[in-house]
């Protein structure tokens, strides 16, 4: 590589010629394919945004000018241009750079949250702050793309941005027609029209030339047509919608033509008010496997062969695939089951349901709030919606879950993929909040399957509930080995039983195998542990657990969510309400934001491994023995006190 190794700062771009920039673009694409193929990550979107990112950094002076990325996974090129190419050796790994913008990495990164449709609100806030403080030499650039304009929050921001003509704010729409897969909805159709329609100014220029050569009536007709500019704009080039909002519109522009992009961005910068620059890019550009991937254009990949794009490691069946197959089977049995997702048909496994039941599958774009309330409406009208999203993304629709679904006792089933610690994608993608959040939602029932068989069983039970919402959660990756129960008591599966009833372990979902392994290790240290799986963890079967607790010195709950407000916390509250004094210990995630790293590394840090848990069990049991001996000694001492 000729230019990339010398690139240490965005200012280095200013000295490069157009031919050199073209060569640099090719080097960056080659670099991305090489590095991301080894680490996994978001490849397609970054291959498509190379020239656009270069143009932004040539026209604007980051960090003086503030560049904010929506759906932060499209920031890899930005990271390279801001001097972090060396960090890609360990992309999304411990000690390496994050797959999303990170303030800890660079002053050029502003917004760390990778959730879509937020950048315009951030940009509005920063630009308003500059305006209030009288700062007139700094421009805010919001890079919006990968379907972010399908989110309602983006349009709330646009409405407010357009009302303030003094904001030095440039909105760059990276229009690659896709989010994870082809973008859905009215906004997507609108942008497609823009892509396919020539500008109205060219039409008017042509009309002026023709009509001005027409004797007598030509000039009056042209003036009339020019007075109808608004109407022609709507018919010939519907960028009028943006301008109706009060936004100056530039485009559409070839997103791979650096010169054309720079001209538009310079014009936008000089305007000194809100401007929208519409760039057309090709997701996956320059990489044949991405181009040939019609569904998702290599949106995100694991470790793959850089030439073919094929996975290098053969993975077993995943939780997502098991859910996908189970839902298709239920869809064949129940005509009232419909499926909804937010721009994630493939990642959540609903693509297979769509193949079989296209008329019963709805992709609403990046709009989790809308999906949730729409599902409530479908339930009211006699359907049973299954809403499938990543755990972290349900956070965005909490109000709708609480007041549109639960309050109305709507028969909606939510399926949360990637629950618990997920690893590589960092703090915004860990699914560690759902157990705590759902604990304050009345009428909601939550199931946590421990393996594929239980996933199918619990999904069937969930969709059979008609008068209340249900939720099913499972982790990222390969299915846990099947773990049969040797007994089911009052709906609770007993998975392991030590010879002596010392400690009762409540394992939540995929934590079950770890709990059994830890119990076996503790048994070798002389501690009798019984492991149970309640299957349904909200509400907990408190009465049944209370009866079990009578035989044990203490209870330990192992969960892959935050401890604060989690399952152990709920069980403790219930026991206190019933004056049950059995001590309860929690093994889970502390209330912190967890950086990117491999899942097993994070669990090791948190002490959520079989060996660490076994040590804790032995320690707690030894503590209970010590406490009991101390109590007996105190009692004996009291008995020997002289009478007065």
3-class secondary structure per residue, 526-537: CCCEEEEECCEE
Q: Are 99 and 597 in contact (CB under 8 A)?
A: no
Mean pLDDT value of segment 166-179: 84
Rounded to an integer, what distance in angstroms lies between the CA atom of residue 619 and that of residue 610? 14
Higher pLDDT among residues 642 and 536, named by residue: 536
How many structural domains comprise the chain?
3
* Residues designated catalytic: 283, 368, 396
Closest CA to 286 of 79, 51, 58, 78: 51
Q: Are 385 and 378 in contact (CB under 8 A)?
A: yes
As a whole number of Å, the end-to-end CA separation of the chain is 95
3-state secondary structure of 471: strand
Asked whether residue 335 falls in the same domain as residue 430, the answer is: yes
Which of 149-153, 338-342, 613-617 has the weakest average pLDDT? 149-153
Asked whether residue 469 falls in the same domain as residue 500, the answer is: no
Task: Label residue 624 by pLDDT band (50, 70, 90).
Answer: low
pLDDT tens per residue, range 439-454: 999 999 999 999 999 9
> Which CATH number is 372's domain given?
3.40.50.970
Rounded to an integer, what distance in angstroms lies between the CA atom of residue 222 and that of residue 226? 6
Q: What pLDDT was estimated at residue 22?
A: 94
Tell me the residue ranges of DSSP E strands in 225-272. 248-254
Exposure of 524 in the CB half-sphere (CA atoms within 13 A): 8
Per DSSP, 82 falls in state T
The residue whose two tokens read 């990550």 is: 41
Sheet containing strand 503-507, edge to edge, reads: 487-489, 492-497, 529-533, 503-507, 554-562, 584-589
Q: What pLDDT was estimated at residue 330?
A: 98
638 assigned to some structural domain: no
Task: Label residue 97 by pLDDT band (50, 70, 90).
Answer: confident
Which of these three, 439, 473, 507, is where a domain ends? 473
Q: What pLDDT was estimated at residue 71?
A: 75
Domain of 386, in residue numbers: 319-473
105 assigned to some structural domain: yes
Asked whether residue 426 falls in the same domain as residue 552, the answer is: no
Rounded to an integer, what distance in angstroms lies between the CA atom of residue 248 and that of residue 158? 12
Residues facing 41 on adjacent strands = 301
Asked whether residue 456 falls in the same domain as residue 508, the answer is: no
Asked whether residue 370 falls in the same domain as residue 405, the answer is: yes
Asked whether residue 22 falls in the same domain as residue 104, the answer is: yes
Per DSSP, 569 falls in state H
Asked whether residue 47 falls in the same domain as residue 167, the answer is: yes
252 assigned to some structural domain: yes
Per DSSP, 72 falls in state G
273 assigned to some structural domain: yes
149 assigned to some structural domain: yes
Residue 470: φ, ψ to 5° = -130, 160
Rounded to an integer, what distance in angstroms lies between the CA atom of residue 115 and that of residue 129? 23
Rounded to an integer, what distance in angstroms lies between the CA atom of residue 555 and that of residue 534? 13
Quick check: 130 pLDDT over 90?
yes
Asked whether residue 143 falls in the same domain as residue 14, the answer is: yes
219 assigned to some structural domain: no
214 assigned to some structural domain: no
Output the pTM of the full model: 0.78
Closest CA to 603 of 613, 591, 617: 613
Give whole-number Cα distances, 170 to 127, 176, 352, in Å: 10, 19, 40
pLDDT tens per residue, range 81-90: 998 988 888 8
Rounded to an integer, what distance in angstroms lies between the CA atom of residue 463 and that of residue 466? 7
Rounded to an integer, what distance in angstroms lies between the CA atom of residue 477 and that of residue 318? 5
Asked whether residue 114 falls in the same domain as residue 43, the answer is: yes
Quick check: 160 pLDDT over 70?
yes
Q: What pLDDT was estimated at residue 499?
A: 84
304 assigned to some structural domain: no
Asked whether residue 183 falls in the same domain as residue 61, the answer is: yes
Q: Are 352 and 321 in contact (CB under 8 A)?
A: no
Residue 364 CB burial class (10 angstroms; 0-12, 13-18, ≥19): buried
Quick check: 594 pLDDT over 60?
yes
Asked whether residue 429 falls in the same domain as residue 508, the answer is: no
Asked whether residue 327 falls in the same domain as residue 287, the answer is: no
Q: What pLDDT was estimated at residue 614?
A: 96
Residue 607: φ, ψ to 5° = 75, 20
Share of the chain above pLDDT 70, in %: 81
Residue count (the chain): 644
């Amino acid at each position: 590589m000729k230019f990339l190794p010398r690139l240490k700062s965005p200012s280095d771009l200013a000295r490069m010629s157009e031919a050199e920039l073209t060569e640099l673009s090719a080097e960056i694409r080659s670099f991305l394919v090489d590095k991301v193929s080894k680490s996994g990550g978001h490849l397609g979107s970054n291959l498509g945004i190379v020239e656009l990112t270069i143009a932004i950094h040539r026209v604007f002076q980051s960090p003086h000018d503030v560049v904010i990325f929506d759906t932060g996974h499209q920031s890899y090129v930005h990271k390279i241009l801001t001097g972090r190419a060396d960090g890609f050796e360990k992309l999304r790994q411990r000690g390496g750079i994050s797959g999303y913008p990170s303030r800890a990495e660079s002053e050029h990164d502003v917004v760390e949250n990778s959730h879509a449709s937020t950048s315009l609100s951030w940009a509005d806030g920063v630009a308003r702050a500059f305006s209030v403080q009288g700062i007139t030499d700094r421009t805010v650039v919001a890079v919006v793309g990968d379907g972010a304009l399908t989110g309602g929050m983006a349009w709330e921001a646009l409405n407010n941005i357009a009302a303030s003509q003094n904001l030095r704010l440039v909105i760059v729409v990276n229009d690659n027609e896709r989010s994870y897969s082809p973008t859905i909805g009215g906004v997507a159709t609108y942008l497609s029209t823009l892509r396919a329609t020539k500008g109205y100014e060219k039409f008017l220029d042509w009309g002026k030339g023709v009509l001005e050569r027409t004797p007598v009536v030509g000039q009056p007709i042209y003036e009339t047509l020019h007075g109808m500019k608004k109407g022609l704009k709507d018919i010939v080039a519907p960028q009028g919608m943006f301008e109706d909002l009060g936004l100056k519109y530039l485009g559409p522009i070839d997103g791979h033509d650096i010169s054309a992009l720079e001209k538009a961005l310079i014009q936008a910068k000089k305007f000194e008010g809100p401007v929208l620059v519409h760039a057309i890019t090709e997701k996956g550009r320059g990489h044949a496997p991405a181009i040939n991937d019609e569904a998702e254009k290599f949106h995100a990949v694991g470790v793959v062969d850089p030439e073919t794009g094929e996975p290098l490691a053969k993975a077993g069946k995943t939780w997502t695939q098991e859910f996908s197959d189970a839902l298709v089977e239920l869809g064949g049995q129940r005509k009232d089951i419909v499926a909804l997702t937010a721009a994630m048909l493939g990642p959540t496994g609903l693509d297979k349901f769509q193949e079989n039941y296209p008329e019963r599958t709805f992709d609403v774009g990046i709009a989790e709030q809308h999906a949730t309330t729409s599902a409530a409406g479908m339930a009211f009208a006699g359907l049973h919606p299954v809403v499938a999203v990543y755990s972290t993304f349900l956070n965005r629709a909490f109000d709708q879950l609480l007041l549109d679904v639960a309050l109305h006792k709507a028969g909606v089933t939510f399926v949360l993929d990637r629950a618990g610690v997920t690893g590589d994608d960092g703090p915004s993608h860990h699914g560690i909040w759902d157990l705590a959040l759902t604990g304050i939602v009345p009428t909601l029932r939550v199931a946590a399957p421990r393996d594929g068989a239980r996933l199918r069983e619990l999904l069937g039970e969930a969709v059979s509930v008609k008068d209340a919402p249900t939720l099913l959660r499972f982790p990222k990756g390969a299915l846990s080995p099947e773990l049969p129960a040797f007994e089911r008591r009052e709906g609770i599966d007993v998975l392991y039983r030590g010879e002596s009833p010392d400690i009762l372990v409540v394992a939540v979902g995929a934590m079950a195998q770890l709990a059994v392994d830890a119990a076996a290790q503790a048994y070798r240290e002389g501690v009798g542990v019984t492991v149970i799986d309640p299957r349904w963890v909200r509400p907990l079967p408190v009465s049944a657990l209370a009866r079990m607790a009578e035989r044990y010195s203490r209870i330990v709950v192992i969960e892959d969510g935050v401890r604060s407000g989690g399952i152990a916390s709920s069980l403790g509250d219930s026991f206190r309400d019933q004056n049950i004094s059995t001590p309860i210990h929690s093994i889970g995630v502390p209330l912190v934001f967890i950086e990117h790293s491999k899942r097993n590394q994070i669990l090791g840090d948190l002490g959520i491994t079989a060996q660490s848990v076994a040590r804790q069990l032995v320690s707690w049991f030894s503590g209970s023995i010590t406490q009991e001996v101390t109590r007996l000694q105190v009692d004996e001492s009291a008995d020997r006190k002289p009478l007065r």
